């Protein structure tokens, strides 16, 4: 029934811990010889791997005893399968706490920055033990905004949820009945070979398994197309259809250039800090020398004079044309 299905599904905790332990061992083998870690970080890494291994051993025992005979004595304790399963769950949740914390922090990257840059000794000791490589991270204060993170999380959560739903309905569920029939034949007919049953199950499941692994890339391409279409509509990409649209959109190019590439105040009277006179002085000789002789050698005075002389829109066009000439 559903209790047995729940017991089987809880095996994912064992898989998580096993993969984490494997990843940690590969990390030690491939990364640690080439970097310098403090003795505290090394001891913390050894402690983390040892604790994970011990938890994996007890997870294996508890999960095996869950599917064992009822009211059987293990290690001097006589209990039913539900008792051992709950021991397995509590132990698994203990080793899943770092993952839960990391998953929560993924939705608020600013909190991750605060933790990595914190000067608290206890917090740094915690990072030394569980995440020793975090001390080598660069750009700890670089993180995405909450709005961008929400969009990013929405993209992946919806895509993975749809992939799992589609795969279960059209790939996994369709194989349940044939699998039960093959195993039923093996259990009810003594002349059936276990090797034959295993071979038949492998042949039937292998194509479905390959599709299950590959279709993630297909759904990623579909979701990427949806996201690209949404961005295109919001940014008005491809909104040019004739010469009139070309002129209208090109006339807005300096404004967008200054806003996106420089700053929102670029070219304005309030924040005209983009000095385009340097390039002009390097390209033109006598007129600038004459202007310098008239206004003096102070570059700030010359800049303020030109800012008053030129309109804000003309300033943006000058900066855009300078960048255009450099690129084109």
Using 50, 70 and 90 to split pLDDT, how confident is the model at 123? Answer: confident
pLDDT digits (tens, 9 = 90+) for 172-182: 888 888 888 88
> Which of 106, 93, 94, 98 minimizes the C-alpha distance to 129?
98
pLDDT digits (tens, 9 = 90+) for 271-294: 444 444 444 444 444 444 444 444
pLDDT at 176: 85
Q: Evaluate whether 292 touches 302 at the Cβ level (below 8 Å).
A: yes
Distances in Å between the Cα of 131 and the Cα atoms of 15, 23, 42, 63 are 20, 13, 11, 28
Higher pLDDT, 59 or 183: 59
Sheet strands (E) in the chain:
72-74, 77-79
**pTM beyond 0.75:** no
Distances in Å between the Cα of 214 and the Cα atoms of 173, 194, 209, 211, 283 are 18, 30, 9, 5, 57
Q: Evaluate whether 310 touches 318 at the Cβ level (below 8 Å).
A: yes
pLDDT at 293: 46
Distance (Å, whole) CA 221 – CA 217: 6
Distances in Å between the Cα of 305 and the Cα atoms of 237, 273, 298, 301, 310 are 38, 13, 11, 6, 9
Using 50, 70 and 90 to split pLDDT, how confident is the model at 40? Answer: confident
The single-letter DSSP state of residue 240 is -
Longest CA–CA separation in the chain, Å: 109
């Amino acid at each position: 029934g559903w209790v047995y299905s729940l017991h089987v599904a809880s095996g994912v905790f064992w898989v998580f811990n096993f993969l984490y332990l494997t990843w940690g061992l590969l990390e030690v083998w491939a990364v640690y010889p080439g970097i310098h870690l403090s003795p505290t970080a090394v001891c913390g890494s050894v402690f983390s791997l040892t604790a994970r291994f011990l938890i994996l051993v007890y997870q294996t025992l508890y999960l095996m005893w869950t599917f064992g005979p009822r009211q059987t004595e293990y290690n001097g304790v006589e209990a039913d399968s539900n008792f051992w399963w709950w021991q397995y769950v509590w132990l698994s949740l203990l080793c899943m706490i770092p993952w839960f914390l990391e998953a929560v922090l993924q939705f608020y990257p600013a909190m991750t920055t605060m933790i990595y840059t914190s000067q608290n000794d206890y917090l740094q000791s915690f990072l030394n033990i569980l995440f020793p490589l975090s001390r080598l991270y660069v750009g700890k204060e670089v993180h995405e905004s909450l709005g961008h993170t929400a969009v990013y999380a929405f993209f992946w959560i919806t895509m993975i949820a749809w992939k799992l739903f589609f795969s279960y309905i059209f790939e996994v569920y369709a194989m349940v009945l044939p699998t039960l029939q093959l195993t039923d034949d093996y259990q009810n007919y003594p002349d059936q070979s276990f090797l034959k049953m295993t071979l038949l199950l492998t042949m039937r499941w292998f194509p479905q398994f390959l599709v299950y692994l590959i279709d993630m890339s297909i759904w990623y391409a579909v979701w990427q197309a949806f996201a690209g279409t949404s961005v295109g509509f919001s940014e008005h990409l491809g909104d040019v259809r004739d010469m009139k649209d070309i002129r209208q959109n090109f006339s807005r190019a300096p404004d967008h250039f200054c806003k996106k590439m420089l700053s929102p105040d670029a070219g304005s009277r309030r924040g005209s800090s983009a000095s385009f006179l340097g390039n002009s002085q390097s390209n033109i000789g006598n007129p600038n020398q004459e202007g310098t002789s008239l206004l003096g050698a102070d570059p700030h005075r010359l800049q303020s004079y030109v800012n008053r002389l030129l309109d804000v829109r003309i300033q943006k066009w000058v900066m855009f044309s300078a960048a255009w000439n450099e690129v084109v």
